[in-house]
Amino acid sequence: ESHLPEKNMEQVVARQTTEELPYTLAFEQDAQVMDLEPGQALTWPIYAPHRVENLDRFCVSLSMDFQTWPSRFRNGALYTNAVLRSRGQRPRMTDRMATPELAARWAASLALKRAGALKSRLEHFQRDFEPQVGVADGAGALRT
């Protein structure tokens, strides 16, 4: 969370914004460089930023999402918090919640999603992969 505050994570989980982070040189302080050979794989902690730099070969990356009950509970709590925040409330941060509260927020998120409590702003989002001139990292803001 040192790179993406929880309020921003809520917006990503609730599909209100993309998961693109504006890159800053400060990220390099926490970076680990991993050189992989063909056939190797790498994992990183949930919500952790990562950057892939291809060196001298063509590379095909495959992203896979693995969930555990704790990560499901946290994602659900983040979604529920995004809904609450969109209605003017100030929900507690998930790192201050015990498992029963996280589980309750996850259950609430299922009902909120089913009820359409928060419409996805990414439903028709298309990436163009063209850098935006004048933006430090080349990434543009989500257009509504």
Residue count of the chain, please give it.
144
**Has residue 131 been placed in a domain?**
no
Task: Yes or no: say if 5 and 76 are a contact pair by the CB < 8 Å rule.
Answer: no
Q: Which of 68-77, 80-89, 91-100, 135-144 has the lowest mean pLDDT?
A: 135-144
Among 46, 78, 74, 44, CA closest to 61: 44
Question: Longest Cα pair distance anywhere in the chain, in angstroms?
Answer: 50
What domain range is 13 assigned to?
6-114
Looking at per-residue confidence, does 43 or 84 come out higher?
Answer: 84
**Has residue 127 been placed in a domain?**
no
Task: Tell how far CA 95 is from the center of its chain.
Answer: 16
Confidence of residue 8 (pLDDT cuts 50, 70, 90): confident
**Has residue 87 been placed in a domain?**
yes
Looking at the 3D structure of the chain, how many domains does it have? 1
**Has residue 137 been placed in a domain?**
no
Q: What is the DSSP string of 18-71?
A: -S-----GGGGGG-------TT------TT--------SS-----------HHH
